[in-house]
Structure 1
Amino acid sequence: MPHQPVSDHLLVSDHQPVHRLVPSPAGRIHLVEQGSGPLVLLVHGFPESWYSWRRQLPALAAAGFRAAAVDVRGYGRSSRPDAVEAYGMLDLVADNVAVVEALGERSAVIVGHDWGASIAAHSALLRPDVFRAVGLLSVPYTPPGGPKPSEVFAGMSDPAGPFAGQEFYASYFQEPGRAEAEIEPDVRGWLAGLYAALSADTMPGPQEPNPHFVAPGGRLRDRFPAAGRLPSWLTEEELDVYAGEFERTGLTGALNRYRNMDRDWADLAAHQGAPVTQPALFLGGDRDASTTWLSDAIEAYPATLPGLTASHLLDGCGHWLQQERPEETNRLLTEWLTALPS
């Protein structure tokens, strides 16, 4: 797809999404934009794509915003560098800055979900000159610092703990090729299982094995719900879109984000404990492990997100918040965006 010049962005219809390839330190970033007005950059998580924001793009456009949903480097039609270390947080922040510049803007509001929430928060932390406000979905902000991530993950299988002898999924993802060997022979089935495992209407019950952990000698998918039942927010055709992208690209680029967590810890050491001070929004699901396990991070928001102007936990909602509850997410997001200083 040829790169479209920035000058034609005024021709983008509020009603029709437009695909673009723009230059970035990764090589290129693919994005889909819709609408005109103040720029809102939408950043997805794992294992997703720009398509995760398909229900937000028209809503934001209708509310008077220029919404741009990216494929993060390693995903979809964006570049996929070979080196594991090319997926560090500093690189992803640089990509976001490049997208804003390529779209002919000086600043943007950045909104992220899952890994995208962490990328959005650190983009705001490191480049407050570009990102004037930040919205976080599902994953709370935790400032840089603290114990090394690999040590935290290892401690979760403590023999005295509730997950004794089990391996946390982020640890399982660390070795290149290991998770790929599980996922890539049946990408569609694996994605369906993971989406169901973390959705409120299909997730395992409290007495069932936790899908965030791997038993010795097992696979992550062993903990997913029985095959064939999709969560209510996901149709077979929508699953085909996700599966088609990962069947084409593989999972390595996406998984390399996890393989940089200790590197991020070192790269961001100078920002230990630093708050994000721009106006902020947090939306979480009350049935999402990201909000229950990280409840201390939410309680710390007066210190870590002093600019927080709206925070909501959605009752009966799981991890895939903007897809499980699109209307509610759209309303809360547009209300927050509209109230921001221009």
Structure 2
Amino acid sequence: MAHPVATEPVHRLVPSPAGRIHLVEQGRGPLVLLVHGFPESWYSWRHQLPVLAAAGYRAVAVDVRGYGRSSRPEGADAYRLLELVEDNVAVVRALGEESAVIVGHDWGSTIAATSALVRPEVFRAVGLLSVAYAPPGGPRPSEVFAGTPGPEEFYVSYFQQPGRAEAEIEPDVRGWLAGFYAALSADTMPGADAPDPHFVAPGGTLRERFPSGRRPGWLGEAELDVYAAEFERTGLTGALGRYRAMDRDWADLAPYNGAPVTCPSLFVGGALDASTTWLADAIAAYPTTLPALHGSHLLDGCGHWIQQERPETVNRLLTEWLAALPS
């Protein structure tokens, strides 16, 4: 007898190298694994889970290690990309599957691309939201970010020292998150003449440059409550571990320097997102770096939180792409 499709999201904990991974699944069919970015959670995919389920897929959104109800190992080494890839593999196996399509946003995009790069036998296709794929290699990341011209400090460098960003964020997690989300959302991001919120002035904080008292349209009180409650409970150190492992990734992934991701792929970015501007050369290189690319889409008037700012468009692009994949 056929099993009924799960019409409501189901929460589960599964074992992984991290200890445990919390996930939320909905629907039955081919597995689609959804991986969030910073500073988010499985909840970032709340608009995608029911749509993918209705389209005939087993949609599964994880809390990346360091977030939510997933384990939070200590030390930056625990947040290397190769560790996160193995968490994803463990999720696929724990769900009784042999393979999955993987889709990521922000850091999740990098995690998804790396998963497809190093474990192609498990991840048969990859969708990338907001952050473009750039093959491993090049200069050491800490040297790149430390070399930003001028006296201001790039946010990635600001995040490196354990405890520093936490001291800014954790006294008022809810307010900080609201400002961070607003700074990168199309309808509330600072204008071109305002100080760039991706940089910190000498002796300053990131929060000083967040929009004051403005909330993006996609972020109501209820949504902010969910995010804030998670980070008030867990703190930010696990989430920030991803940034603090970047130099370790550079060494770990040296065998893959310059390598393309050859499985079927999709890219969707926001035209107003700084990530798409910074990585414009990477997007232009897709014919070489993503040779099986199905489509590359920049959504006009859209910022960084793409699947929450433009859920209908992202859902349409994802379901059309998934339907076109070989079974």
Structure 2 partner of 1:306: 291
Structure 1 partner of 2:79: 87
Q: CA deviation at 1:11?
A: 5.2
Structure 2 partner of 1:332: 317
Structure 1 partner of 2:179: 193
Structure 2 partner of 1:216: 202
TM-score by length of 1: 0.94
Q: What letter matches 1:135 in structure 2?
A: G
RMSD over aligned CA atoms reads 0.8
- Aligned ranges 1:63-102 → 2 under 5 Å: 63-102=55-94
- Aligned ranges 1:64-213 → 2 under 5 Å: 64-156=56-148, 158=149, 164-213=150-199
How far, CA to CA, are the matches of 2:218 and 2:76 in structure 1? 33
The alignment status of 1:295 with 2:280, answered yes or no, reads yes
**Match of residue 235, structure 2, among 238, 250, 272:** 250
Q: CA deviation at 1:139?
A: 0.0
Structure 2 partner of 1:279: 264
Structure 1 partner of 2:45: 53
How far, CA to CA, are the matches of 1:194 and 1:232 in structure 2? 14
Q: Which secondary structure state, in structure 2, belongs to the residue aligned with residue 210 of structure 1?
A: coil
For structure 2, the residue ranges without an aligned partner over 5 or more in a row are none
How far, CA to CA, are the matches of 1:341 and 1:14 in structure 2? 24
How far, CA to CA, are the matches of 2:47 and 2:254 in structure 1? 37
How far, CA to CA, are the matches of 1:31 and 1:202 in structure 2? 31
Aligned pairs, how many? Answer: 326
How far, CA to CA, are the matches of 1:56 and 1:63 in structure 2? 10
Q: What is the percentage of aligned positions where both structures have the same residue?
A: 79
Q: What letter matches 2:44 in structure 1?
A: S
TM-score by length of 2: 0.99
How far, CA to CA, are the matches of 2:181 and 2:102 in structure 1? 24
For structure 1, the residue ranges without an aligned partner over 5 or more in a row are 1-9, 159-163
Q: Which secondary structure state, in structure 2, belongs to the residue aligned with residue 16 of structure 1?
A: coil
How far, CA to CA, are the matches of 1:231 and 1:21 in structure 2? 32
Q: CA deviation at 1:14?
A: 3.3
**Match of residue 244, structure 2, among 259, 263, 269:** 259
Q: CA deviation at 1:84?
A: 1.9
Structure 2 partner of 1:24: 16
How far, CA to CA, are the matches of 1:190 and 1:169 in structure 2? 14
Q: CA deviation at 1:15?
A: 1.3
Q: CA deviation at 1:13?
A: 3.6
How far, CA to CA, are the matches of 1:312 and 1:302 in structure 2? 14
Q: Which secondary structure state, in structure 1, belongs to the residue aligned with residue 245 of structure 2?
A: helix
How far, CA to CA, are the matches of 2:74 and 2:3 in structure 1? 36
